[in-house]
Amino acid sequence: MREKVETALEKIRPALQADGGDVSLIAVEEDGTVKVQLTGACGSCPMSTMTLKQGIERLLKEQVPGVKEVLQV
């Protein structure tokens, strides 16, 4: 599942980088929890929670079967 998550993150990464940020995959747990770290401008942005839930989590749930939740660490 980790490879599929990495592939899906590559699709959203250009949008984050365009705003001066990025996302790093930290872990994919067996229960379907994905842990990521938002970096750069995304790490300190007040809208990072919306980016995480409505952007990254939505994309991963659509494209990777088994993803239940995305958490920022």
Where along the chain do its domains lie?
2-72
pLDDT of residue 45: 85
User: Which helix (H) or strand (E) covers residue 71, if one does?
Assistant: strand 69-72
* Tens-digit pLDDT profile for residues 37-47: 999 998 888 88
CATH number of 2-72: 3.30.300.130
Residue ranges of the chain with per-residue pLDDT less than 70: none
